[in-house]
Amino acid sequence: MVAVAREGASVELDPFRISAIADSRAVVDKALSAGHPIYGINTGFGQLSDIPIAADQLEQLQVNLLRSHAVGVGEPLRVDEVRAMILLRANSLARGVSGVRLELIQFLIEFLNRGVHPVVPSQGSVGSSGDLAPLAHMALVLVGEGQALYQSQWLSGAEALDRAGLQPLTLQAKEGLALINGTQLMAGVGALVLHDALALMEAAETAAAVSIDALMGTSAAFHAAIQEARGQPGQIASARRLRALLEGSEIGQAHRKSDHKVQDAYSLRCAPQVFGAVRDAIEYVRQVIGREVNAATDNPLVFAGEGEIISGGNFHGQPVALALDVLGLGLTQLGNFSERRTYKLLSPQESGLPAFLTKNPGINSGLMITQYTAAALASENKVLAHPASADSIPTSAGQEDFNSMGAAAAMKARRICDNVATIIAIELICAAQGLDFRRPLRSSAPVERAHSQVRAIVPELDEDRSLSREIQDLAAAVIAGQFGARLLSELPA
């Protein structure tokens, strides 16, 4: 999914799904011919579901649905987030239980392959009748309305289709509803944040290892027996990785038999416990998102084997909302934990290093204010970590009386994730500078590789300079996974 969303990889429809798609559509056509009332197909929507729609108005009903629901506001979603939405909506419809035509799914795939990206406002979903407003903005472009980005130009939907060599699609009964009734904003954004969270998890452990040596901490608390005595799987995995990152460090060996204190502060000593809890939280989120990206989440669903069209509630975003709130909280803890080590690195009474890691204090402030930025972002995250899913508000005149707020959970998790990447980047800058003050002693090969990667982006701070751009560049490298598992490979230092 990430390759399609961020790298523009092409998409093809699995041919084995074609017959199931056709069979489900046949059930819809048969029900229409029989004149049975079916929610959203020949009735109104939500509180208006008891109003029948005449056969000659069914196509207009679907277009009006998109127009009336396209009321999103706020900053547009990023292109990768829009591509993730399109991909997941096509994948869901291709399950063959949504009652749409093959042409509709192929049209969504053409959007991805030709680079037609609807402009989708980020706000307006309550995450329960699906991500209705955002998906409506996405779907309007299929019928030649709305707005889209095509080849970096912001165009009307009709102009974008024309330039891409596509003709507007005429929707048939149920197809407008099938396009917007699902969890694809929260699941798509959530999947991208989850991907980045995995990179942050490893980068946070790497940054901690660099800080531990810069602070002349001990790895004794990472002993395998301690972790096994508790039995938490994330803790065991994090301790194993920390041991591997620090294996062979001259700095660790240099003070092992000295008068160095036998216990470090929690931000060093309890690294496996804190990182492990976040690892376990991420694994829970991975399982939920992994199921959701392959789920059928519209309503009603069409079961060709039984010849039935059944109304249900798979559009409700509660599973995803809870998971993304957990993800946001876990990432917030990564940021909080990292900021505490940055504080220690810059405090001479705690680190034994020069104040603010500058060789000439007074005339130079060194890295003093980087901790302010980390603290500001960490505190912002504490506000953002409040669970969106703790709230609900009724909509549609009470018909939809309990909503998940999953879209809000997804957008908060994205912002937290970006903030944490910056906080970890700041720790890496400070830890690398601290390591420079420990020369001529060397750390382990993985930590030295991490140091080199920091220095490729952020040169050693000899005299004061603005670090804003360098912090952002390093945060991008953190998100890109440059401080992850590859540091433990056999690549030359």
Active-site positions read: 39
Please spell the DSSP secondary structure of 96-148, one letter per residue: S-S---HHHHHHHHHHHHHTEEE--EEE---SSS-SHHHHHHHHHGGGT-SEE
Q: Is 356 left (phi over 0), alpha (psi -120 to 50) or beta?
A: left
Taking residue 345's Cβ as centre, other Cβ atoms within 10 Å add up to: 29
Q: Computed from CA positions of residues 201, 206, 208, 209, in that sequence, does the dihedral angle turn out positive or negative?
A: positive
Q: Say how far apart CA 211 and CA 432 lie, in whole Å.
A: 8
Residue 30's nearest CA partner among 311, 310, 308 is 308
The alpha carbon of 441 is separated from its chain's Cα centroid by a whole number of angstroms, namely 39
Q: Is 150 helix (H, G, I), strand (E, B) or coil?
A: strand
Q: Output DSSP code: residue 221.
A: G
Q: How many residues make up the chain in this entry?
A: 493
> Across-strand partners of 76?
121
Taking residue 152's Cβ as centre, other Cβ atoms within 10 Å add up to: 8
CB-CB contact of 208 with 433 (8 Å)? no
Q: Say how far apart CA 92 and CA 182 lie, in whole Å.
A: 9
Bond from prior residue into 300 cis (ω within 30 degrees of 0): yes
Residue 345 amino acid letter:
L
Q: Say how far apart CA 424 and CA 200 lie, in whole Å.
A: 8
